Structure 1
């Protein structure tokens, strides 16, 4: 049985749009994934990153996933490695690609390696806006408001976004 899953994609090194496209395409070719949809791409300022970090390109994809949370985490980590992401000793250092699992159906998962829904999903405009573009009325497990209302609660001054690409 498959569940609808959401994954945030971000890149702030190299050809950022191409990095997002490669990550999306890697996900789309997986046998356990079907019906992939991609939100528009936004540019955002880095949050909690080292000084001088380049702006991010961010988006969200959602899809039907036929697997468990641990398998999805393994898949996203393999895609990051395939696209050239390397481990950095510096927290939130600039990166070629970042894939964060946002949700997996109505599942709640809390392990040392993975927390679903993503613990900061409700406070990150660069995640909520593209997610709201795809599924404004989505209710995430453990949260009391749909995505569009979580987005409306954020301060307009926080994390300004620039919509760059409607389809990519």
Structure 2
């Protein structure tokens, strides 16, 4: 079993429901258990600013799934929630699931980079990640509690 951290986000449709249903779907994955979940945060869009605010959360999982299989499962959950990957980056979406970190695993392939290379830049990831693992040390980036001190959290609010 491995500890994995997954970020969840949504800004289309019933975003809160999309996030909650995704957490249930993660808990239903084979060999997987949700160990902790953050509060849900309302956050301003990142990257592409002319879109609705997002709802974001993070879950900590214990899973037997290796990172590529876990990524496939995340993409399947996104599709089931109506997510269409049309090549647009940072645009509006019903559901976005990002594999942030898997303890003891470093991956650098075309499909997946672990740990996620932009954790340290994003308040919408660090705030909920801090809820579940403030002392988590992200290899090459630092501890979540320290990284959070270096991002702008203005406009980010727990629901």
TM-score bucket of the superposed structures, by smaller chain: over 0.9
- The 4+ residue runs of structure 1 with deviation greater than 3 A are none
Is 1:34 paired with 2:29? Answer: no
Equivalent pair of 1:16/1:57 in contact (CA under 8 Å):
yes
TM-score (norm 1): 0.90
- The corresponding residue for 1:154 is 151
Q: Which residue of the partner structure matches residue 136 of structure 1?
A: 134
1:82 paired residue among 77, 80, 83: 80
Separation of aligned partners in 1, 2:101 and 2:135: 14
Root mean square deviation of aligned Cα: 1.3
Number of residue equivalences: 159
* Unmatched runs of 5 consecutive residues or more in structure 2: none
CA distance in 2, matches of 1:93, 1:146: 29
Post-superposition shift, 1:60? 0.3
Q: Report if aligned partners of 1:38, 1:134 keep a CA contact under 8 Å in 2.
A: yes
List gaps (5 residues or longer) in structure 1: none
Q: What residue number does 1:109 align with?
A: 107
C-alpha separation in 2, matches of 1:79 and 1:105: 22
TM-score when normalising by structure 2: 0.95
Deviation at 1:91, TM superposition (A): 2.4
Checking the alignment, whether the CA contact within 8 Å between 1:23 and 1:79 is kept in structure 2 is yes
Q: Using the alignment, how far apart are the partners of 1:128 and 1:21 within structure 2?
A: 19
Give the Å deviation of 1:120: 0.3
User: What's the offset of the Cα at 1:156?
Assistant: 5.1
The structure-2 alpha-carbon separation of the partners of 1:12 and 1:155, relative to structure 1 and needing over 3 Å to count, comes to closer
The answer for the alignment partner of 1:97 in structure 2 is: 95
